[in-house]
């Protein structure tokens, strides 16, 4: 199995796990002040980029 195939499978599994975690945490954040909710969603919306970048760099070696 090539690195790109492994990266695709790991990326999809990791992204689905990340989305599930954000959805679970969003239930807790929903009851907080709207500014904290805004910060949570801003961070959660961008935080997946760094692991994805590392995975892509690893796959391209």
Structurally, the chain folds into a number of domains equal to 1
The predicted model scores a pTM of 0.83
What percent of the chain is helix, strand and coil (3-state, nearest 5)?
85, 0, 15
What does each of the 61 residues of the chain score in pLDDT, given as a tens digit? 889 999 999 999 999 999 999 999 999 999 999 999 999 999 999 999 999 999 999 999 8
Tokens of 20: 């599930």
Separation between Cα atoms, residue 54 and residue 45, nearest integer Å: 17
What lies within 8 Å, CB to CB, of 14 at 6+ separation is: 51, 55
The range of the structural domain enclosing residue 48 comes to 3-60
């Amino acid at each position: 199995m090539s690195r790109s195939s492994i990266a695709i499978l790991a990326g999809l599994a990791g992204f689905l796990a990340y989305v599930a975690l954000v959805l679970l945490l969003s239930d807790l954040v929903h009851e907080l002040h709207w500014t904290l909710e805004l910060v949570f969603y801003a961070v959660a919306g961008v935080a997946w980029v760094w692991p994805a970048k590392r995975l892509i760099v690893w796959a391209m070696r």
